[in-house]
Structure 1
């Protein structure tokens, strides 16, 4: 049996590569991929070689990190998972993945793959929100309603029960989705944001203009969390940062994917969710390279891409 992987060999140079799947080692499971996704904010800058965090990228480079599938084989020492279990994992654009059991996130069999795939970024967003730990009556401003921003609004509303969440987003459809997820006001321009209004801010856009807006809009001694990847614009500090004695914290990866999944999956199953609307484009695995080309050329601009794999 062969594993097919989508590999980046240079700027805009994607190729499928195949290699034999080796026997499983102790603690490993073999997953047959059913669905995956393109996380555009993270993957497109790598594809275009515009990622500010990688001045000299190394190739070849594996692509993707969000995968959903079924366990079809288990190695010795695997005691919590079994064949037939559905899991989310981090192995990316591959038709089969070999992972350690403890790195697989078990998924209820009746959960839609789109909801399952969002567990990774949902947990990443949750970590930043939990670092801020706003109270129910605090005012929170979130900039950028890409996938990370929308999931941040969702967690603020559904888990933290924050009542006043405002967002900055120029795209009307993304702003409308933010409203449906719990945002009170949607500002299409940073100039429309009130000054000295919010106790907490979360930066999810990667844009320096939005970062400046947050510093202006926060009250004195407020806290700002950067959730964007840092791969677009370079941020600098406003005079307001010093005058107000603001605090900036960073957040990367999730706080605990399995523990977060316990809340997230149960919440989505019991209350329903519109989060799967984040997947604005659906393709087959055979269309992955062409999709990256279209994204890179600006022919399409979805929030997130669902990739379906052949049975």
Structure 2
């Protein structure tokens, strides 16, 4: 199937051939009929992509600050590589979608195959959308009209926040698509509506909907609105304009009555004048997209609806409202349609965007139409033939997220692995990686890789709650397994993986790459190599992890397992590697009086079989300008300091004082050794018993936090 994407690095808008998504539990698979191009939002993305690097930086000063902080901590070259990788990740375009249901996932009972639905799907021939972002279309509403559902809900949510009453005067600043829909909806609320825009064609269109209009180019709009309201001022102002200027907010405040309300739906400068708001006691609120539930994973992804008596208008119920108004004819959108363009001719719309003269000033709404039959319904796309050699080490990758694209797949390629296939949930990310790194097959069905006899190593880099299940399935399919950490997020899962590994006799390796970095390898050699386990030592590992949003999936115990399971495990393994011993006892203490089930600021104490001790300080509240990782080793009147995997300093070592170089966390070396071992045979890179011990130690750390005590490994 085909999907529109925007390349932020090159500025190109591309129609990409990608595998069709697979229907998932709680979601709906939809064949597309129409999508609406949001000229405002999508033009911004196109213009950003076509801008040069300096212009991109000027538009995102907060990101520039992060770049300089990363340069300080990680160095110039790794930072530049990270920036260019980020820009090289194309964005899917579109969020106003209409189509026909072709499959429903488990748990959905109120939609059926053949239903016409509206959703926030992308510009793609097939989309898979969570149930709460899908609304059934009434028979009286055409596909063209239904394409306005989502963007109409954006305007509706702004109105709900404004809370207008019958007879109030409301000004709408900006009569683009959202502005014209908002103005109509306000009229349906019984309001007197005054619309402001610089485009006379849009003003004329607004007048046809019964809206009073003013052009700021030739009218003093503040004086005019004051006169039109008998000297009182507007009861409310809804801003749907897009501009970097702060002048819009100043005008909105000055045209408002005392205790007036201002709601921002668009994007404008927000350097507010306190005096403007203070004297009138104005209220100001920013509207969040389609309504309550937006960006809440529990609502959108997990399908947990908000109870109607307590949250009357969710984003889905806003979708339904727009569709009802379209069906009754009260909301008119056909006059807004500028053009309907076949998907294959998308450049008729996007070719006008991003230049100094866009050429589409009069455009309001452009629709993309889709063919009746999707050209490629298969869940796989063949990109090129790869002839596998007689040796092992042919790789199938499950998961194509940011870490896979930025780190794992490039490391596998550098390590000389034969990359045979990649599976991703939506098909797009996997296909782009496949094209970039010469991978033969991109699929949305990971079973394709498990059933492929050519694949003998399965690399799993999905969300943490699927690691154990996918590892077990891969082992049962007779594949060797590499799992990006953690191996499991519950004790029961770990037990099942152990059983599957023992039954299969295949290799299981977890992505504990730190031990393969040049600095860690040299530290191990200096400490005595394999003989280091005979001498107890003290190791302190500090990770200045940095904060991530509280609602990020990694914090969810059932999905990510928390950052201790997902990231601090690196340091349990590294200390195990350096000490040459395994953990016997664990105690964890976290910041805060009432720690939750997971934490991201904690100290972990480890006791090892050979008498060594480990301390892991995993903190999320430090400065990003400071180095992210530091390891100290104390042994036999000697000290090693490993700084951010860039340098190693030795004190008390004969003939060694230090080494330094480019940051290297060992990803490529890890895969090089793995592929070599699979092709030539030999012992596992990390003993499976060590991997199990590390996983048990992090699970024991969470248990220690909850129970407030030391936990002995395998202690019931």
Q: Tell me if 1:294 matches 2:352.
A: yes
Segment of structure 1 superposing worse, 3-12 or 166-175: 3-12
Q: Label 1:177 to 1:292 Cα distance change in 2 as closer, same or farther (>3 A).
A: same
Mapped partners of 2:21, 2:318: distance in 1: 32
Mapped partners of 2:169, 2:117: distance in 1: 36
Mapped partners of 1:240, 1:23: distance in 2: 53
Q: 1:221 aligns with which of 217, 236, 259?
A: 259
Mapped partners of 1:204, 1:276: distance in 2: 20
Which gives a bigger RCO, structure 1 or 2 (Cα 8 Å, sep 6+)? 1
CA RMSD of aligned residues (A): 2.3
1:193 counterpart SS class: helix
Aligned to 1:259: 317
Aligned to 2:294: none
Aligned to 1:4: 2
- Confirm or deny: 8 A CA contact 2:33 2:99 kept in the other structure: yes
Q: Label 1:87 to 1:171 Cα distance change in 2 as closer, same or farther (>3 A).
A: same
C-alpha deviations, 1:148-185, integer Å up to 9, x for none?
11111111111x211x21111122221122223232x2
Q: Label 1:23 to 1:120 Cα distance change in 2 as closer, same or farther (>3 A).
A: closer
Aligned to 1:13: 12
Mapped partners of 2:133, 2:331: distance in 1: 25
Mapped partners of 1:242, 1:272: distance in 2: 38
Runs of 4+ in structure 1 off by over 6 angstroms are 50-53
Segment of structure 1 superposing worse, 13-22 or 91-100: 13-22
Mapped partners of 1:99, 1:39: distance in 2: 19
TM-score using structure 2 length: 0.40
Q: Label 1:137 to 1:273 Cα distance change in 2 as closer, same or farther (>3 A).
A: closer
CA-CA distance at 1:192 after TM superposition? 3.2
Mapped partners of 1:53, 1:253: distance in 2: 22
C-alpha deviations, 1:9-43, integer Å up to 9, x for none?
22521222223235422233221111101101111
1:94 counterpart SS class: coil
Q: How does 1:56-71 map onto structure 2 within 5 Å?
A: 58=87, 59-71=89-101
Select the structure that is richer in strand: 1
C-alpha deviations, 1:252-274, integer Å up to 9, x for none?
11232332344333332233543
Aligned length: 303
Q: How does 1:32-47 map onto structure 2 within 5 Å?
A: 32-47=31-46
Select the structure that is richer in helix: 2
2:107 counterpart SS class: coil
TM-score using structure 1 length: 0.89
Q: 2:343 aligns with which of 285, 300, 310?
A: 285
Q: Label 1:260 to 1:168 Cα distance change in 2 as closer, same or farther (>3 A).
A: same
Q: Tell me if 1:173 matches 2:212.
A: no
Structure showing greater radius of gyration is 2
- Confirm or deny: 8 A CA contact 1:4 1:94 kept in the other structure: yes
Q: How does 1:79-90 map onto structure 2 within 5 Å?
A: 79-90=109-120
Aligned to 2:368: 307
Aligned to 1:192: 221
CA-CA distance at 1:292 after TM superposition? 1.0
Segment of structure 1 superposing worse, 237-246 or 149-158: 237-246
CA-CA distance at 1:44 after TM superposition? 0.5
Q: Label 1:102 to 1:237 Cα distance change in 2 as closer, same or farther (>3 A).
A: closer
Mapped partners of 1:25, 1:130: distance in 2: 33
Q: Tell me if 1:235 matches 2:262.
A: no
Q: Label 1:6 to 1:237 Cα distance change in 2 as closer, same or farther (>3 A).
A: same
- Confirm or deny: 8 A CA contact 1:85 1:109 kept in the other structure: no
Q: How does 1:263-278 map onto structure 2 within 5 Å?
A: 263-271=321-329, 273-278=331-336
Mapped partners of 1:131, 1:218: distance in 2: 16
Q: How does 1:131-170 map onto structure 2 within 5 Å?
A: 131-158=161-188, 160-162=189-191, 164-170=192-198
CA-CA distance at 1:77 after TM superposition? 2.9
Aligned to 1:24: 23
CA-CA distance at 1:67 after TM superposition? 1.0
- Confirm or deny: 8 A CA contact 1:105 1:257 kept in the other structure: no
Mapped partners of 1:140, 1:272: distance in 2: 19
Segment of structure 1 superposing worse, 34-43 or 261-270: 261-270
Aligned to 1:248: 284
- Confirm or deny: 8 A CA contact 1:4 1:17 kept in the other structure: yes
Aligned to 2:136: 106
- Confirm or deny: 8 A CA contact 1:29 1:74 kept in the other structure: yes
2:340 counterpart SS class: strand
Q: 2:105 aligns with which of 75, 99, 102?
A: 75
Q: Label 1:72 to 1:54 Cα distance change in 2 as closer, same or farther (>3 A).
A: farther
Mapped partners of 1:135, 1:172: distance in 2: 29
- Confirm or deny: 8 A CA contact 2:341 2:348 kept in the other structure: no
